Amino acid sequence: MNGIIKYWRQVTVALLLLALYTAGYQQGSNTSERRWKLRWSERDVAQAQRAAQYEAQSRAEEQRRRDEMEQVTQHAEQQLATLRADAATARGAAERLRRTVLQLQRNNSRTDTCADNTGTSGRSASCVLADVLAESVERNQQLAAEADRRRIAGLACEKAFDAMRR
């Protein structure tokens, strides 16, 4: 019986040591697992913060570009409005000049007016000059308006491109 008790003691001690080893291993495993979970959660938080920061920067940059494009558009519209006002002023000046030429022609003409002459050989020099001047002024106004419109559009496009490139 003494041998059986001794045997049971050894078995009990071995089981006790095995239980302690298992508990220690489990504790170490749990500690290691918690460390890794903590590292992963810290990494996830840092990554989410970087993503939010990048998104905020991207939105701010997009808003800046949008604001700059709006300013370019407003500036171009202001220039076009100024161009239209200048064109209206030029049309008025051309009309006054045409009336002045016609008045001079009427004062200098004794017999026929420009409207009565149908042939070019019978027309007076002032009539021909009035017609050429009127056509020239009208065509020059058209060309100047188109050139100004294209210049404004080109400058606006260039500013928009520069804004996007920055």
Q: Decide if 145 contacts 87 (C-beta within 8 A).
A: yes
Residue 97, exposed/middle/buried by CB under 10 A (0-12, 13-18, 19+)? Answer: middle
Q: What is the pLDDT of residue 31?
A: 81
Q: Quote the CA–CA distance of 131 and 2 in Å, as a whole number.
A: 143
Q: Both tokens of residue 112?
A: 């026929």
Q: What is the pLDDT of residue 116?
A: 52
How much is the pTM? 0.49
Q: Both tokens of residue 125?
A: 């020099």
Q: Decide if 126 contacts 108 (C-beta within 8 A).
A: yes
Q: What is the pLDDT of residue 60?
A: 93
Question: How confident is the chain (166 residues) per 10-residue block, as mean pLDDT?
Answer: 71 81 78 85 93 95 89 88 85 82 69 52 66 80 85 85 78
Q: What is the pLDDT of residue 123?
A: 60
How many alpha carbons fall within 13 Å on the CB side of residue 162? Answer: 8
